[in-house]
Every structure is written in structure tokens, then in C-alpha cells.
Chains A and B, each alone.
Chain A
Amino acid sequence: MPANRAVAALCLLAYLAGPALACVSDPDAQRMTPETEAAPEVYAILGPSVVSQPTGLELVVCPWNSGAVSSVDVDAWMPSHQHGMNYEPDIEALGNGRFAITNMVYHMPGPWELTVTVRAGAERASYVLDMPIP
């Protein structure tokens, strides 16, 4: 089936292309959209997108001018339903700008938005990423 093979090839291409990486090499890393253009790059590597079960993600914050990242806040909400999560996620610093986020619970299927705020010294930037939950 040629049509099918073409789609499969596209699938592979999309996989190989990946994000244009500055400080991340993970093929699944997705670049988060910053609130301000000058903000350093932040990538999210999403865990399984399951409904109403605890899942997680890894966050990679590329180097900042003002030095080490002092804190990250992570949350998620459903803009179309105007509600967030029923649980506070746990955040663990892994070093090198990497953070493991656990106990994210997307309790409804549909479009969610991941929101992240990073602080380093006096600098602060916020990011979003669209996250469809099936």
C-alpha cells in the first residue's frame, strides 16, 4: 500500500528531525514556548499521557546568564475548562538544569497546557507547552 508507506516514512522523518537542540539530546524533548523571546530554552520530555493516573515529565533548562537555576514551578491546566490539577506535583532537581517532575495527574481527556516558571538569580521566565491528553 504506497500511501501507507509514505505516511510511515513521514512518521520516521518527524522522529529523526526532533527539536533543534541547544543543550538537550533526547529525541522526545519538546521545546516550551517562552513568555518573552530572550528567555533561555526550556525543554520538556513528557512521560506517558494517561488520564487520571499519576505520570510525570523531565524538564531541561538550558544555561542562564545569571548562573544556576534557583527554582522551577510546574503546573498544568485545561484552558478550555478553566481548571487545573487536583494534586501538587513533586519536583526533584537532578543537576545540570534537569528536573524530574512526578505526580502530575491530568484528570480529564482533552487539551491540557503545561506551565513552567524558572528562576535564576534575579531573572525569571515563564513557559507553556500544549499537551493533548487522549
Chain B
Amino acid sequence: MNRLCRIIVAFHLVAAIIAGPAAADVLLTPEEISRTLTHGPWPPAVGPDPSNRVSGNAAAIAFGEQLFHDPDLSRDGSISCATCHVPARGFSEDRPRAMGRVALDRNTPSLMNVGTHRWFGWAGDSDNLWAQSLLPILNADELASDAQSLKTMMADGPYASTYAQLFGPSSDHASETVLVNIAKALAAYKETLITGQTSFDRFRDALELGDMARAADYPESAQRGLQIFLGKGNCAFCHTGPAFTNGEFHDAGVPYFIEPGRVDPGRHGGLKALLESPFTLDGAFTDDPGKRGAWAVRNVRRTHLDFGKFRVPSLRGASRTAPYMHDGSLPDLESVVAHYNTIDMERLHADGEAILMPLNLSDDEVDDLLAFLRSLSDDQPVAD
């Protein structure tokens, strides 16, 4: 039934393509067009986060932005969130692995579109954005602060009145509550970091409207790259939907050795941290009495396959956030495509992903795939 009706829709699309004035310039088949439509619309309509009562609150967003850039949030005034999450680099940075008080094990991920995720961090240590925001504050290798110092900071000094206005006087709050409230203001700010419309989105929206003349503005090379992405590249199995990620965890064949003899357990470790955390959507610190979203932490399965899996990154704005992968081991998009093109099957777990295999793309096909990937980043970048 469903399929039959999809065929009818496809039939109409073919008719439109054949009839359209710029017919020769849209290369996609009706099937490819209907799959392209699933990667939008963009930006998505996301409402406020029900677990965070200051989500979407303008004063909290401004407060969160100040805190994000303030090194005084760290133990010794030396590190702020923006030290690693550099605005002009899509809120990531150009070194492979982050440098806190010591070298960390992972690459600093972009914070653009971070509000759209289900799990946070490369391994999904948190199921909500405010819980993820308090990890670097407490981490001894990053800001290395503690709840008591934050409570003192909010009691007097420049932030006292803003804090009191948003949450009530900090003297009434346990230090842990102050920590969570600060994290919620940081989260409110980060939810506003959203990439804009790209040439891909204009193409996709024109296809949806059946405006083939406008769709034909999208370069043919990017269209051929999109066909590889949806087709023989198998990319769209994992990089699904408007943000080009299914939000889940996979093994993309990146080695998980941090150094000889030490491995990054990936999702296996992330689930352990998640299930030990008091700050989940199922815990006492959510502001949503209905505990929406808590199904994920309650129902998530743990299996031995979690080892060495990492969250599928969004591909929007990726041109601005080199280097790539959880360990920053691939310096540019060319290397990422080369990685998938010649993937080392030995590196995949024996019972790992059955869809990754060397693609053997020609040089022209590689260029087309790159043209498509870059077209996901030609929106207006955020200024520093």
C-alpha cells in the first residue's frame, strides 16, 4: 500500500522532470529525489528543552554565552569552554586531540547543531545537553572546578544578580544545584548554535516544490556526489536525516588505540558513565515532571558490540571543523573520503558493521563526493 503510493509520487516526479524546462540539469532519479527529501527541511523546528526550565530564555542565553567565554569558571582562571570550542572554527578547534591541563584522548567536537542530538559526547556519556555541560567544568583535566567554588562565584561578584534573577538567590541553593543551573544556562546558549541554509538545502527545497529550474542551480558535480552518498557509498545508512546523523553509535573503521596498549572503549565506556550519572533525564535534576526523553536511558541496551563505537557526527558545517573523527586522526575531508574508499576491513570488529567495504571510487567520483560534502557547509559561518 505504502509502496504503491510512493510509486505514484515517483511517477509524478518523473513527469515533472520530463516536463520541466531545465530537465537535463537535475540528475537524480525519482527514488533518489525522495531520499534526498529526508535530509531536510533545515533548520529543523526544535522547541525548548523541557528538561531545562531556562531553555529558550533570552536572559539565560546571554548569561550562558558570558559563562562560555569566561576563564574564571575554571579553577585557576586559565581555561574557558571557548579555549577548545573556538567559535570561528564551528566551535571546534584545529588540533587533532584537545589540550586541557594535559593532552586529552579525543578531538573537540563542533557544538553547531548540538541541541539536535539524543546523546552527547563521542561516546554518549549524557542524554541531555546540560548534563554534558557540567562534565568539563568538573573534569580535573579541563576546567577543574567544583560545585562549591561555583556557588561562591555566584554568591557575590558580577554574576550574582543575573543568577538570582534567573534561578533565585544562590544562597538558597545546594552547591550541586548551582552547578546544574550554570550548566542549564550554558545549554540554553548552545541550543542557539545552528548552521544556516546551504546550497544543498535550496536544492532539496526546490525538489520538494517540484521547481526543477531552481533545483538545477545546484552544481552537477555535487548532484553526482549526492548520488554516491545515497547509493553505492552507503553513507546515508548512518548519516541519515536533516542533520546527516542517525544519532547512534557505529564503528567506522577508525583505530581505537590511543597509544600502544591503551584503547578508547567508545560507546562501551559512554554507557557506563551514563548509567552511573545522577544527571540523566530519568534523574532528580530534570525540570520536566513528565520526564520526556527518559525512555532512551531507561531502554538503551548494553552489548559487547558497543566497544569502539562512536557517535555518527553530523556533516553540516563539517568543512569548517577539520580535523576529523573521534581522535582527530584524519586532517581533511579528502582523507575522510580516502578512508572510506580504501577502508581497512581488518580494523572493523569481526561482527561489526556489515555495510562498510572499500568503495573503489574513481578520482572523479571522489571529487564529486567532496563537492557534495562541501555543499553542506556553504552557509554563512559564525563570526568569532
Contacts and interface: CB of A to CB of B under 8 A. Distances in A.
Contact of B246 (A10, A15, A52, A85): A52
A11 interface: yes
B64 to A, nearest CB: 28
Given A54-B295, A109-B236, A82 B354 contact: yes
A4 to B, nearest CB: 7
Given A4-B11, A52-B241, A11 B248 contact: no
A49 B247 CA distance: 17
Interface in B1-20: 1-8, 11
B362 interface: no
B291 to A, nearest CB: 14
Interface string A107-121: 111100000000000
Interface stretch (B46-54, B163-171, B299-307): B299-307
Contact of B247 (A11, A52, A134): A52
Interface in B232-254: 236-238, 240-241, 246-249
Contact of A15 (B1, B35, B301, B351): B1
B1 A83 contact: no
A82 B351 CA distance: 8
A87 to B, nearest CB: 4
B299 A108 contact: no
Contacts of B360: none
A108 B312 CA distance: 12
B296 interface: yes
Contact of A109 (B5, B237, B295, B301): B237
Indicate the size class of the contact surface on chain A.
20 to 34
Give the bracket for the number of chain B residues in contact with chain A.
20 to 34
Nearest to B118: A52
B32 interface: no
Contacts of A134: 6, 34-35, 38
A14 B295 CA distance: 36
A51 B246 contact: yes
A87 B8 CA distance: 34
B305 A87 contact: no
B353 interface: yes
Given A52-B240, A82-B351, A10 B4 contact: yes
B258 interface: no
B5 A87 contact: no
Contacts of B296: 87
Contacts of B7: 7
B23 interface: no
B301 A86 contact: yes
A132 interface: yes
B295 A103 contact: yes
B4 A90 contact: no
A88 B300 CA distance: 6
Interface in A70-129: 80-83, 85-90, 102-103, 107-110
A8 interface: yes
Interface in B186-221: none
Contacts of B246: 51-52, 107-108
Interface in B271-316: 295-296, 299-301, 305
Interface in A1-39: 4, 7-8, 10-11, 14-15
Contacts of B237: 81, 108-110
Contacts of B35: 134
Contacts of A81: 237, 353-355
Contacts of A80: 354
Contacts of A14: 1, 4
Interface string B354-366: 1100000000000
A7 B8 contact: yes
A15 B5 CA distance: 11
Given A10-B4, A88-B299, A89-B299, A107 B248 contact: yes
Contacts of A52: 240-241, 246-248
What are the 5 tightest A-B residue pairs by CB atom distance, in nearest-first order?
A52-B246, A87-B299, A107-B248, A81-B354, A88-B299
Interface of B: 1-8, 11, 34-35, 38, 236-238, 240-241, 246-249, 295-296, 299-301, 305, 351, 353-355
Given A82-B354, A107-B246, A109-B240, 6 more contacts: A4-B11, A14-B4, A86-B248, A88-B299, A103-B299, A108-B238
